[in-house]
Amino acid sequence: MSAPTVRRRQLGRTLRALREAAGLRQEEVAARSQGIMNGAKISRVETVKTAATAKDVAAILDGIGVTDEELRSSLLKLTREGTRRGWWQSYRSVLSPAYEDLISLESEADHISTWQPSAIPGLLHTAEYAREIITATAMNAAAEEKVDALVDVRLARQGVLTRENPLHLWAIIGEAALRGRCSDQRIMTDQLDRLLSLSRRPNIVIQVLPSSSAPHVGQMGAFSLLGYGAYSGLAVAHIESLTSSLYVEDRDDVAVYQDATERLRAAALSTRDSTELITEIRNNK
């Protein structure tokens, strides 16, 4: 599944939901679009058979009668960003399609919540910790040859945290990830220092889920939620494995991951207690 397809599915699903909520047929929306759209083209946009332009989407929203400026802005941004060339495209020779998809969607999100039970989230890595993780998960010789470039990509991804309108990241990290061992213990100490530093930024929240916690939903595995504006219907859940990435797009299924995120936040330590635990672990390294 390519990132443009994920975007088009988000867009088509949302436009159809808005139209149906307004009680309008595709032909009725077309008639209100000042001749820009017709019923057949609206159908193709909704069913992901064609890529819509920002002008198309604006005309459909006008035809439906959507006046919520935040929703309109989110949908138009999603449409425009899908046509732009991203910095990561120069790394295509070393990126898997699944990883390229993630970077593309991540770059467009305005908030991400992530649960990582056994490793520090990639957006918070130091260069050396990233190298340790990427090397450890390289499953063949071809992947091992790409480590340097993949470290560069990992660090470049972090630009979303410091851009003009920075991504809001809420990371819930399992205690086991903080107590992990590296080839050089200094690497882990530096990584913990980075977590403490980043936790002071207003757009980054870090919570730790203690190993002593009661059984919880996070034991089913790591996942991330990517959000695009205040409209929850645009959210996508991402689950990654060694060989592929799964995007959960169905609204009801995404809601399950949203509920799981809230449960994990409630089960994790407060940000203050999380900082104290990270500091304690760092000082005992």
Using one digit for the tens of pLDDT, what is the confidence trace for 88-146? Answer: 889 988 888 778 888 888 988 999 999 999 999 999 999 999 999 999 988 877 777 89
For residue 240, what pLDDT is reported?
Answer: 86
Indicate the fold that domain 3-81 takes in CATH. Answer: 434 Repressor (Amino-terminal Domain) (1.10.260)
Of 48-62, 137-151, 164-178, which gets the smallest average pLDDT?
Answer: 137-151
Burial of 84 (C-beta count, 10 Å sphere; 0-12/13-18/19+): exposed
Residue 4 has pLDDT above 60, yes or no: no
d(CA 136, CA 21): 49
Q: Are strands 236-240 and 245-248 parallel, antiparallel or unpaired?
A: antiparallel
Torsion sign (Cα): 237, 254, 247, 29: negative
d(CA 255, CA 235): 9
For residue 1, what pLDDT is reported?
Answer: 45
For residue 23, what pLDDT is reported?
Answer: 97
Q: Where does the chain hold its CATH 1.10.260.40 domain(s)?
A: 3-81
Q: Are strands 223-227 and 245-248 parallel, antiparallel or unpaired?
A: unpaired
Average pLDDT, stretch 210-226? 95
CATH classification code of 93-283: 3.30.870
For residue 141, what pLDDT is reported?
Answer: 75
Average pLDDT, stretch 191-199? 98
Q: Where does the chain hold its CATH 3.30.870 domain(s)?
A: 93-283
pLDDT mean across residues, the chain: 91
Confidence class of residue 34 from pLDDT cuts 50, 70 and 90? confident
For residue 158, what pLDDT is reported?
Answer: 98
For residue 84, what pLDDT is reported?
Answer: 65
Contact 61, 78 (CB under 8 A): no
For residue 89, what pLDDT is reported?
Answer: 86
The pTM assigned to this predicted structure is 0.85
Average pLDDT, stretch 176-190? 95
Confidence class of residue 214 from pLDDT cuts 50, 70 and 90? very high
Report the share of the chain in percent with pLDDT over 70.
96
Residue 276 has pLDDT above 90, yes or no: yes
Read off the pLDDT of residues 36-45 as tens digits, 9 standing for 90 and up.
Answer: 999 999 999 9
d(CA 114, CA 238): 9
